[in-house]
Amino acid sequence: MNSAYILSLLQGLWATVVLSLLTFLFGGIAGFIVALARISRNWAISRGAAAYIEIMQGLPLLVLMGLCFYGPSILGYDSLSPLTAATFALTLYSSAYLGEIWRGCIQAVAKPQWEAAECLGLTRWQRMRAVILPQALRIAIPPTVGFLVQIVKNTSIASLVVGYAELSYNAKIINNATFEPFLYFGIAALMYFAICYPLSVQSRALERKLNVANR
């Protein structure tokens, strides 16, 4: 055990956190658009969003990483940096899952609320903004926090194809030098656990707390 190794693991942890936050930010924005597109009245838009979700959920993240890493250079852009490519792939991936989760939450808002809003003569956009989304937000918080765990775990894959140096990558480099897999991968696993477990617990607690009306 060496302090330089621990420092390197901590740097990896920071890179993991950065990638997770970027993914959540962009994936959240894209996911919101996907959710709205999915419930659109326009047949083409909603089918398009459904196809997008179907494709993203049927591809392994590794393949998506490869497509995002090598794809842009074909379109004439210079090759992306590992962080950009990883964020791009994870954004596409999580936008499909978040879109599907949020669509469920929007549709879970009680039917009379939609009808009442329509009776009040609100436009479709007003109804969404003032009536449906605030209530959907409440339903959406626990599964969204739960999905954050998935994002953090999925960032580990960013080291494989695009070579972004995050926690599991640094742990592997250290293991290559020391060959003490139980020790260093154990520490790396504990670090992931330290981020993910509080989120899991929080998600369950929020679910209980926000579910008061249905008890």
Residues that bind other proteins (CB under 8 A): 55, 57-64, 66-67, 70-71, 74-76, 149, 152-157, 159-160, 167-168, 171-172, 175, 179-182, 185-186, 188-189, 192-193, 196-197, 200
Residues 10 and 6: their CA atoms lie apart, in Å, by: 6
In the complex, the smallest distance separating the C-beta of residue 29 from other proteins, rounded to whole angstroms, is: 24
Cβ-based nearer residue to other proteins, 36 or 156:
156
Pick between residue 49 and residue 117 the one whose CB is nearest to other proteins: 49
Minimum separation from the CB atom of position 197 to other proteins (A)? 5
Tokens describing residue 9: 């693991």
At residue 66, φ and ψ (nearest 5 deg) are: -60, -45
Contact present, 28 and 99 (Cβ < 8 Å): no
Pick 64 or 133: Cβ nearer other proteins:
64
* Spatial separation of the C-alpha atoms in residues 207 and 215, rounded to whole Å: 12
**Taking a C-beta distance cutoff of 8 angstroms, is the pair 143, 203 a contact?**
yes
- For the CB of residue 133, give the shortest distance to other proteins in the complex, in Å: 27
| 191, 13 Cβ separation under 8 angstroms | yes
* Distance in Å, CB of 203 to other proteins, minimum: 11
Give the nearer residue to other proteins in terms of CB position, either 86 or 152: 152
Identify whether the C-beta of residue 187 lies closer than 8 Å to the C-beta of residue 126: no
Q: Which is nearer to other proteins, 76 or 121 (CB)?
A: 76
Only one residue has tokens 């950009």, namely: 84
Cβ 64 to other proteins shortest distance, Å:
8
Q: How far is 199 from 141, CA to CA, in rounded Å?
A: 12
